[in-house]
Structure 1
Amino acid sequence: MMPGQTSSLRLPSFLHGTFRSVQQKTRREGLRCGEQYRKDGTFPEPQQLLEVPPGEVVLTHEVVDIQRERPAWRLYMVSNLMGHLSETSSGEGLNPFPMRNDYETYFRETAWGSLFFATTYLHPMSAERMAQRLHAVLRFWEPLQGARYLFKKLGATHTLEELMVAACGWALDAWSPEKEASVQVRLEKAAERMARASRDDSIEAILRQMSRALSSERDLKHRQVLADPIFQREGLATLDPVSFERVSGACTAELLALLFDWDDKIGVH
Structure 2
Amino acid sequence: MTTPQSPVLEFPVMLHGRTGAILRKVSAKGQEWAREYVMTGAFSQPRRMRQVPPGEVVIVHSGGDFDIIPHPRWRVHLFSDVFMHLDEGVPDAESERAREAFESFCLSTPWGALYHAVSPSPPRSAQRMARQLAALLRFWDVLQGPRYAFWFDRKYTLEELVEDIYGMTLEAWCPGGAASVREHLTLTVERMARATREECMEAVLRVLPVLMRANADLKHREVLSDPDFLRERLDALRPEEFESLSSAYRFSVNGALYAWDRALAQQ
Shift of 1:93: 8.3
Q: 1:94 & 1:199 partners in 2: Cα distance?
A: 31
CA shift at 1:65, angstroms?
Answer: 1.3
Q: 1:59 to 1:201 in 2, by over 3 A?
A: same
Q: Is 2:81 aligned against 1:83?
A: no
Q: Which runs of 5+ in 2 are unaligned?
A: none
Match of 2:243 among 242, 245, 248: 245
- Tell me, what secondary structure is at the counterpart of 1:54? coil
Contact 1:212–1:252 (CA under 8 A) maintained in structure 2 = no
Identity of aligned residues (%): 38
Cα displacement (A) at 1:75: 1.0
2:23 matched to 1:23?
yes
What is aligned with 2:139? Answer: 140
Alignment of 1:59-98 (within 5 A): 59-67=59-67, 69-88=70-89, 94=92, 97-98=96-97
- Is residue 65–residue 152 contact of structure 2 (8 Å, CA) maintained in 1? no
Q: Equivalent residue for 2:104? A: 105
CA distance in 1, matches of 2:64, 2:205: 32
Report the Cα offset of residue 149 of structure 1: 1.0
- 2:148 alignment partner, SS class: strand
> Mapping of 1:152-191 within 5 angstroms?
152-154=151-153, 156-191=154-189
Q: TM-score, normalised by structure 2?
A: 0.90
Q: Alpha-carbon deviations, 1:48-80, whole Å to 9, x = none? A: 111111211111111221326311111111102
How far did 1:108 drift? 0.7
CA distance in 2, matches of 1:147, 1:162: 12
> Which residue does 1:262 correspond to in 2?
260
Cα offset for 1:12? 0.4
Work out whether residues 30 and 81 of structure 1, in 8 Å CA contact, stay in contact via their aligned partners in 2.
yes
**Cα gap change, 1:180/1:5 in structure 2, threshold over 3 Å: closer, same or farther?**
closer
How far the C-alpha of 1:150 sits from its partner, in A, is: 0.9
Whether contact under 8 Å (1:119, 1:168) holds in the other structure is no
Give the Cα–Cα distance (whole angstroms) in 1 for the partners of residues 211 and 242 of structure 2.
17
Take 2:255 and 2:18, find their aligned partners in 1: how far apart are those partners? 35
Listed one character per residue, the Cα deviations across residues 87-119 of structure 1 (whole Å, up to 9, x for unaligned) are 34xxx9857554333211111111110111011
The whole-number CA distance in structure 1 between the counterparts of 2:178 and 2:138 is 22
Which residue does the alignment assign to 2:54?
Answer: 54
Larger displacement relative to structure 2 (114-123 or 251-260): 251-260
Distance 1:245 1:183 in 2: 25
Q: Which residue of 2 aligns with 1:32?
A: 32
CA distance in 1 between counterparts of 2:110 and 2:71 reads 24
Query: Does residue 128 in structure 1 map to residue 127 in structure 2?
Result: yes
Q: Is the Cα–Cα contact under 8 Å of residues 178 and 186 in structure 1 kept in the other structure?
A: no
Gap runs ≥5 in structure 1: none
* TM-score for the superposition, normalised by structure 1: 0.90
The answer on whether the counterparts of 2:61 and 2:150 sit within 8 Å (CA) in structure 1 is yes
Q: Tell me how far apart the structure 1 counterparts of residues 246 and 92 of structure 2 sit (CA, whole Å).
A: 29
Aligned to 1:151: 150
CA contact (8 A) 1:9 1:143 kept: yes
